[in-house]
Amino acid sequence: MQRFLFFVDAVSTLVGKAFGWCVVILTFVVSYEVFVRYVLGRPTTWAYDISYIMYGTLFMMAGAYALSRNSHVRADLVYRLLPVRAQGALDLVLYILFFFPGVIALVYSGYGFAKFAWMINEHSSSSPNGPPLYHFKTVIPVAGFFLLLQGIAETIRAGIALKTGVWPRRPHDVEELETQIIADVQHGKEVKL
């Protein structure tokens, strides 16, 4: 089971880091637009469309990566105080009641949006250039699929925590430095700081 969880985490990490390059493209486009608009006085007709397409793509495709890193916002003031089994039970209930219905709706409706956009060869009406939007709308169900896959892994983790009382390891888990130093001192190793 751990191999499956690590595999799903690796896929989410690969996708998240690949689409993280959208930040570089977005930064270049916005910087270029600011330069040509304010220095040369010749604004582009395409920068606005590219910037919202890049930002939207980054935002959508980073969801599964953030979920794999346990980075989504949660009100964990009370959650942290709960025992691990209660945390697992709460996560399990919330994934089943809210996460899966929402993500399945995202995939289903996103597929409909993307299919319709491809059928009508949809283009943006926000600028004179009108770049195609069907590629961008295809990102919606694809992002939903990766979220669904990562959600399955997180549900399995919650089930394991509920059953065993211990959260399964994640590939990116790190040990606190002080814990490592204490272990080194106890084993008589020299500690270099």
pLDDT in tens, 112-154: 999 999 999 999 887 777 888 899 999 999 999 999 999 999 9
Answer for the pair 147, 103: CB distance below 8 angstroms, yes or no: yes
Mean predicted lDDT score pLDDT of the chain: 89
* Between 109 and 182, the higher pLDDT residue: 109
Which range is least confidently modeled, 75-84, 111-120, 153-162? 75-84
| pLDDT of 183 higher than 90 | no
Distance between CA 193 and CA 190 in Å, rounded? Answer: 10
Between the CA of residue 32 and those of 29, 123, 129, what are the distances in Å? 5, 23, 17
Distance between CA 187 and CA 170 in Å, rounded? Answer: 26
Q: Where are the domains of the chain?
A: 2-170
Write down the pLDDT at residue 1.
83
Write down the pLDDT at residue 79.
86
Q: For the chain, what is the total number of helices (H) and then of strands (E)? A: 9, 0
| pLDDT of 168 higher than 70 | yes
Residue 192 pLDDT class (50, 70, 90 cuts):
low
Write down the pLDDT at residue 75.
73
Residue 4 pLDDT class (50, 70, 90 cuts):
very high
Answer for the pair 12, 67: CB distance below 8 angstroms, yes or no: yes
Write down the pLDDT at residue 185.
74
Write down the pLDDT at residue 186.
75
**What's the rounded mean pLDDT across residues 10-28?**
93
